[in-house]
Structure 1
């Protein structure tokens, strides 16, 4: 999978990304606080960079970049103690910043780090 051009990503953000991201973030967060639906919520949170700006993860197409992740046990403990509530604050702050011109670069940076904030997942964008 190749990255979309900056123009396409910019058009996506202006037409879709800025309003869809807060919806996805809050649905994902609601799913993560349940035990049964948490894996779906975490998957949605990992897709936030794509929803915001069509940023594709290179780790999905290059297994070498996916190496070096924390163990599932460490990530699960982190998520239970910190990730579930910190990701909610982080993601909503990023969504708020995304609707401002000045805050947009910070919002994109924050969205790209949301998978790590949530579950220590290294998103290789």
Structure 2
């Protein structure tokens, strides 16, 4: 995408701000997701994780990849039974990978998919 910050800016952001801010951000998001009232804000925070970790903005989804989203009741059951704890494990693993040089690309990929792990919604 053309509106992405240069790679050097993103790398400097990650080294000085992204790695520690992401840990705090994810902790706040996960704790909000444990409360009924906080779920909308927690999901909103999770959707912003790629920007927080590396200033990466989402590319618009390709036209041919459009798929039917899961219904709200299915997503609610997923969140209540699996999403809340799976997202905690996914988040911990992704954050641990951000602390290693070789794991950063995998961590960024995992953090970009975190909204789907939480609620089966592909943002």
Report if aligned partners of 1:45, 1:115 keep a CA contact under 8 Å in 2.
yes
| Root mean square deviation of aligned Cα | 2.2
Runs (4+) of structure 1 moved beyond 4 Å? 64-67
> Structure 1 length normalisation: TM-score?
0.85
TM-superposed deviation, 1:65: 8.8
Unpaired segments of 5 or more residues in structure 2? none
- Whichever of the two has the greater Rg, that structure is 2
Q: TM-score, normalised by structure 2?
A: 0.86
**1:28-39, aligned counterparts within 5 Å?**
28-39=29-40
Question: Number of residue pairs matched?
Answer: 121
Aligned equivalents of 2:93, 2:20: Cα separation in 1: 14
Unaligned runs of 5+ in 1: none
Q: Once the two structures are superposed, what CA deviation does each residue of 1:43-95 show, in whole Å capped at 9, x if it has no partner?
A: 11111111111121235xx7x69953322222222111111111111111111
